[in-house]
Amino acid sequence: MSTAPQSKDQLIIFDTTLRDGEQSPGASMTRDEKVRIAKMLEKMKVDVIEAGFAIASPGDFEAVKAVAEVVKDSTVCSLARAVPADIEKAGEAIKPANSGRIHTFIATSPIHMQYKLMMEPDQVLERAVEMVKLARNLCDDVEFSLEDGSRSEFEFQSRIIEAVINAGASTINIPDTVGYGEPDEYGLMFKRLIENVPNADKAIFSTHCHNDLGLAVANSLSAVMNGVRQVECTINGLGERAGNASLEEIVMAVRTRSDVFPVETHIDPVHIVPTSRLVSSITGFPVQPNKAIVGANAFAHESGIHQDGVLKHRETYEIMKAEDVGWNTNKLVLGKHSGRAAVKARFEDLGISFQTQQELDEAFAKFKELADKKHEIFDEDLQALVSDSTAPEIEEKYGFSNLEAISKSGNKPRASLTINAAGEDFSSEAEGDGLVDAAFKAIEKVVHSDAELQLYLVNAVTQGTDSLGDVTVRLQKEGVIVNGQGSDTDIIVASVKAYLNALNLLAAGVLKSHPQKDCV
């Protein structure tokens, strides 16, 4: 018996890695980093890219504008509180976009209105309508969010939604801001609103879920089952506190269970894993090995029974193909004999392009240097190489040479190195609790940075003991956060490179302060 193909609605994928994702403490991104990620999202065919919060800082304004200038195929959006200055800034930032959107929000739950906004519901409604109208004067595409919407009262939700749709909002987002929602209840909330708000058919309803109870993806999918046609999500589930619903999980759930979900997306999933890696290397947030879709073990079978089953018939234990989401697509393994064209092409496949010939030459030289040490070069190695080579162009105040690190049973580990600070060489040595600690202490004896080490992270980029070690060092000084990056086959060298890179970023004033910390 054959069943007639069901027609599917389009599910709009709204990625907010560059805005809500950036709100994870320490995950702030520079303008150029945002542009690199945005280009990958565009390649993946994300429908809407929320590039930032234009009013939050001059840096974020520039980042949204830069993304609006380069992205052609996705809609580029800026967040704005429901205040005129925010909306005007957002409108200015997205002006260069082929297709732009202003996303404005105000809290609608009793607790937020009373204690945070100190406004009566009628005042909130009036403000929302005025601000949607203002936004519509600047841009045809306006989204309105009821902040803390999942804890708001039905009567008020209905009134404000009807009013902002009449004022010109074409997307209505009801976030589960504090991650309190439960799938059935959250889904039914949408069903009831879509059925009862008189002009609901004039707007697309949207979900935006936080993961405080680990339910962000379940809540988003329940919303979809109840009529929602836009999901707001982030790569690797990055986001404020416990994060947002993860893009890769939403997209692959809808695709893999197309027998259940009445929707399809435009997403080309083959770019998922490279994008996940890019976001992880830029933010310094590692992906846990057992993370669905993008974790290193997501497609690994350890138990003998499973391995046997997969060898006999893949579908016994696999519901998706690893290649479909971008694993193992790297058929072309690069090595020391690979030419510039092959290396450049592979970089481009990974979403990494070079603005100048000199940048390409530098990346190629690093590639050759690595190929001398390591037999086969994989995608992960190339990603790690460019975390160095496409990092923000800064003047390097600190460099190092002559690193010696000694670890001997029974003795305290000891590191000595020569630090070049502003053109002058200083020798330094120190003991520590491990070689990395000793090396960092030796650096600090010269630099006296007063910075606080917030994160030290080592990632073996590929399998094998000859793997590149990719190190992230996050330093914080006077509210400014920087992520230094370094990679090398020698972990101590990679660590020193990452620490000095972080110090150089601090010295150069490459600010990564929390983008919304001054917005209340």
Point out which residues bind ligand KIV (CB under 6 A).
20, 105, 145, 147, 173, 175, 177, 208, 210
**Whole-angstrom distance, CA of residue 60 vs CA of residue 78:** 10
What is the closest distance, in whole angstroms, from the C-beta atom of residue 279 to Zn ion in the complex? Answer: 17
Phi, psi at 74, each rounded to 5°: -105, 155
**Whole-angstrom distance, CA of residue 86 vs CA of residue 108:** 19
Can you spell out the DSSP letters for 17-36? TTTTGGGSTT----HHHHHH
What is the closest distance, in whole angstroms, from the C-beta atom of residue 363 to Zn ion in the complex? Answer: 35
What is the closest distance, in whole angstroms, from the C-beta atom of residue 208 to Zn ion in the complex? Answer: 6
20 contributes a contact to Zn ion by CB under 5 A: yes
Q: Which is nearer to ligand KIV, 105 or 364 (CB)?
A: 105
Selection from ligand KIV, Zn ion, none that 277 binds (CB < 5 to 8 A by kind) is none
- Please tell me whether residue 263 adopts helix, strand or coil conformation: strand
Q: Say how many residues touch Zn ion, by CB under 5 A.
A: 1
Tell how strand 12-15 and strand 48-52 pair up. Answer: parallel
Selection from ligand KIV, Zn ion, none that 145 binds (CB < 5 to 8 A by kind) is ligand KIV
Selection from ligand KIV, Zn ion, none that 467 binds (CB < 5 to 8 A by kind) is none
What is the closest distance, in whole angstroms, from the C-beta atom of residue 382 to ligand KIV in the complex? Answer: 33
143 contributes a contact to Zn ion by CB under 5 A: no
What is the closest distance, in whole angstroms, from the C-beta atom of residue 240 to Zn ion in the complex? Answer: 6
DSSP letter, residue 286: P
**Whole-angstrom distance, CA of residue 514 vs CA of residue 388:** 23
Q: Which is nearer to ligand KIV, 74 or 177 (CB)?
A: 177
Selection from ligand KIV, Zn ion, none that 484 binds (CB < 5 to 8 A by kind) is none
What is the closest distance, in whole angstroms, from the C-beta atom of residue 145 to ligand KIV in the complex? Answer: 4
Can you spell out the DSSP letters for 508-519? HT-----TTTT-
Selection from ligand KIV, Zn ion, none that 147 binds (CB < 5 to 8 A by kind) is ligand KIV
Selection from Zn ion, ligand KIV, none that 39 binds (CB < 5 to 8 A by kind) is none
Q: Which strand (E) or helix (H) includes residue 102?
A: strand 100-107
Taking CA atoms, 269 is separated from 34, 99, 251, 491, in Å, by 20, 23, 8, 33
Residues 404-443 as x/- pattern, contact with Zn ion by CB under 5 A: ----------------------------------------
**Whole-angstrom distance, CA of residue 282 vs CA of residue 287:** 12
What is the closest distance, in whole angstroms, from the C-beta atom of residue 235 to ligand KIV in the complex? Answer: 16
Q: Which is nearer to ligand KIV, 135 or 496 (CB)?
A: 135
Q: Which is nearer to ligand KIV, 80 or 352 (CB)?
A: 80
Residues 104-115, buried b or exposed e (16+ Cβ, 10 A)? bbbbbbeebbee
Q: Which strand (E) or helix (H) includes residue 220?
A: helix 216-225
**Whole-angstrom distance, CA of residue 241 vs CA of residue 249:** 19
What is the closest distance, in whole angstroms, from the C-beta atom of residue 115 to ligand KIV in the complex? Answer: 16
Selection from ligand KIV, Zn ion, none that 42 binds (CB < 5 to 8 A by kind) is none
Q: Which is nearer to Zn ion, 14 or 440 (CB)?
A: 14
Q: Which is nearer to ligand KIV, 173 or 383 (CB)?
A: 173
Phi, psi at 147, each rounded to 5°: -60, 145
What is the closest distance, in whole angstroms, from the C-beta atom of residue 146 to Zn ion in the complex? Answer: 12
Selection from ligand KIV, Zn ion, none that 105 binds (CB < 5 to 8 A by kind) is ligand KIV
Q: Which is nearer to ligand KIV, 39 or 151 (CB)?
A: 151
**Whole-angstrom distance, CA of residue 278 vs CA of residue 293:** 15
Phi, psi at 127, each rounded to 5°: -65, -45
What is the closest distance, in whole angstroms, from the C-beta atom of residue 102 to ligand KIV in the complex? Answer: 13
Cβ(160)–Cβ(125) below 8 Å: yes
Selection from ligand KIV, Zn ion, none that 15 binds (CB < 5 to 8 A by kind) is none
Residue 148 CA neighbour count, 13 Å, CB half? 16
232 contributes a contact to Zn ion by CB under 5 A: no
DSSP letter, residue 3: P
Q: Which is nearer to ligand KIV, 178 or 263 (CB)?
A: 178
What is the closest distance, in whole angstroms, from the C-beta atom of residue 291 to ligand KIV in the complex? Answer: 21
Q: Which is nearer to ligand KIV, 237 or 269 (CB)?
A: 237
Cβ neighbours for 46, distance < 8 A, ≥ 6 positions apart: 13, 14, 15, 74, 247, 266, 267
Q: Which is nearer to ligand KIV, 152 or 504 (CB)?
A: 152
444 contributes a contact to Zn ion by CB under 5 A: no
How far apart are the two ends of the chain, measured CA to CA in Å?
Answer: 59
Cβ(506)–Cβ(498) below 8 Å: no
Closest residue (Cβ) to Zn ion?
Answer: 20
380 contributes a contact to Zn ion by CB under 5 A: no
Q: Which residues bind Zn ion (CB under 5 A)?
A: 20
